[in-house]
Structure 1
Amino acid sequence: MADAQRPEIGASIDAGGVTTNYLDAGQGAPVVLVHGSGPGVSAYANWRLTIPDLAQHFRVLAPDMAGFGFSDKPGDYGMKRWTDQIIGFLDALGLERVSLVGNSFGGGLALRVAVEHPQRVDKLALMGAMGVEFPITEGLDFVWGYEPGIETMRQVLDRMAYSRELVSDELAEVRYRAASEPGVQEAWAEMFPAPRQRWVESMATPEERIQEIPHETLIVHGRDDKVIPLENAHRLNALIERSELHVFGRCGHWSQIEWAADFNAMLVRFFSREPR
């Protein structure tokens, strides 16, 4: 799947003009994991606890989106850049139809792909997802406003997790180093400059379009999320006809980490069952 010394670096492919680093594990029906937008994030950082379990049942693909991780940092960031990259990624790998899992920012991207390219999506899973309009939270404003520093990174991570036990000095150091890789901070500074409410709105898909989504959709959210409000999940559940909602208590913005085993089992069941 990746170099044992640098597990965050996998294969590389041209995805819609963006040289894209991605992880590829397992066999079977394809599932594409789309990461969130925290500083220092990558497909590996976001999905390292998810990929091994899912790869026992499916072919799991996890790309670094443009500007993140070890993919190109071409500038001109926005929904079109990122959604074109996802479709280009599928085209480059010869994948006609996949299930999508989107986390936070990645949830907004997955939602937009499902609306604009419904024929390319099998099932949809949204975790702590953007994609509808909401007043920006203090947590998201702080995360998107990250300035380099280990202490600042620790404060970012504090807003992500319900349990402070997950936010160690070591994790803050690892994420700080990842955010300091060549070109990463420069790309980050371009993406979400203040005022940041406009980026929430730019990532929202019109509700009348969301109501048209035909796909079975699993919506997962942490009850105690300080970054993306729980109300987003309830709104998406109300809008998408074939949707179901699971809320984890004692959970912040990291369902895939804080409730990893349960989250993974839920995805396996959802993607394995016959359509309803």
Structure 2
Amino acid sequence: MAEENPAIGKSIKTGEFNTNYLEAGEDKGGTPVILMHGSGPGVTAYANWRGIIPILSEHFHVLAPDMVGFGYSDRPEGIEFNCQVWADQTYAFMQAKGIEKAHLVGNSFGGSNAIRLTTDHPEAVERLVLMGSMGVDFPIVEGEGLDTIWGYEPSVENMAQAIRTMAWGDELAQNENLAETRYKASIEPGFHESFSAMFPAPRQRWVQSQITDADKIRGIKQETLVIHGREDQVIPLSTSYALHQMIDRADLQVFAHCGHWVQIEREADFAQSLINFFNRKEVA
């Protein structure tokens, strides 16, 4: 019998295509939590959130969709991938699931998509978490950081380098099983073809494509938690400082000895921060 793939969850129609998603804690009630993944090679909602979903689902109804073009959601021919498409997909996902309002947690490019959804449909968002988030301008350095991640070509060695770029220290990069597993995920049928077509060089333009107008960001009224790893080599800490200043009701939390994978490198602390944030009484 073939081994079940934990990244393949349920499927639901979102606009013109189908979205694969994971769901847990359906019996918890309250405001659902939607987890929006980043844009690394071979990424899926499962790869991004597999350690966090079981913890959060003890407290909340948790949903984690694969963005269109990623994971096991559809890869429609001729689609132009951009922030608006991914934000619209998430809103369509909420509508398809009958969710009127949710907490959003956005990681990296998932953060910029969460920002866009919040500014487009503020009535649909209760509280907002931005972790190592895009959404404002920053310079890409050729051959480093995000340029390395978006320029990934499949091999175990290149995946280990991508992990080294994502994480603080070498522990995760030296985990041969992790590099091998993520490499295999990156070469699933259609995965690399769609990934390499999304962010071709020169890549600065794709950073710009994820930006939401500054005045719209300043108009965000939701309580917001901005989280960043101090040693993040992919998205500079300055982006979270900027978002913290722009969003009136934003708190900022910076994790030491931590790179771009806060949800992995500081899993328990990150999960507890979310639990506390979503459960606390509203701050005026």
- TM above 0.5, one fold? yes
The corresponding residue for 1:203 is 210
Report SS of the residue matched to 1:109.
helix
The corresponding residue for 1:11 is 10
Within-5 A mapping of 1:186-225: 186-225=193-232
Amino acid at match of 1:13: I
Equivalent pairs counted in the alignment come to 274
1:145 aligns with 2:151: yes
2:138 alignment partner, one of 117, 134, 139: 134
Report SS of the residue matched to 2:180.
helix
Amino acid at match of 2:71: G
Q: TM-score normalized by structure 1?
A: 0.97
Q: Distance in 2 between matches of 1:262 and 1:227?
A: 21
The corresponding residue for 2:20 is 21
1:179 aligns with 2:186: yes
Q: Distance in 1 between matches of 2:183 and 2:197?
A: 18
Report SS of the residue matched to 1:165.
coil
Report SS of the residue matched to 1:153.
helix
The corresponding residue for 1:56 is 58
Amino acid at match of 1:187: S
Conserved? CA contact 1:35–1:42, under 8 Å = yes
Range with bigger deviation, 134-143 or 197-206 = 134-143
Report SS of the residue matched to 1:231.
helix
Task: Please list the CA deviations of residues 116-162 of structure 1 after superposition, one character each: whole Å capped at 9, or x if unmatched.
Answer: 11111000000000000111142100100111111111111110000
Report SS of the residue matched to 1:126.
strand
1:101 alignment partner, one of 102, 105, 112: 105
- Deviation of 1:111 after TM superposition, in Å, equals 0.7
Q: TM-score normalized by structure 2?
A: 0.94
Within-5 A mapping of 1:262-273: 262-273=269-280
Q: Distance in 2 between matches of 1:17 and 1:174?
A: 31
Conserved? CA contact 1:16–1:87, under 8 Å = no
- Deviant stretches of 4+, over 2 Å: none
Range with bigger deviation, 244-253 or 80-89 = 80-89
Seen in structure 2, the aligned counterparts of structure 1 residues 113 and 4 have a Cα distance that, compared at 3 Å, is: farther
Seen in structure 2, the aligned counterparts of structure 1 residues 116 and 223 have a Cα distance that, compared at 3 Å, is: same
- Deviation of 1:5 after TM superposition, in Å, equals 2.5
Percent pairwise identity: 54
Instruction: Specify every segment of 5 or more residues in structure 2 that has no aligned partner in the other structure, as ranges.
Output: none
- Deviation of 1:263 after TM superposition, in Å, equals 0.4
Task: Please list the CA deviations of residues 227-260 of structure 1 after superposition, one character each: whole Å capped at 9, or x if unmatched.
Answer: 0000001000000000000000100001001100
Report SS of the residue matched to 1:166.
coil
Amino acid at match of 1:59: H
- Deviation of 1:4 after TM superposition, in Å, equals 7.9
RMSD (Å) for aligned C-alpha atoms? 1.2
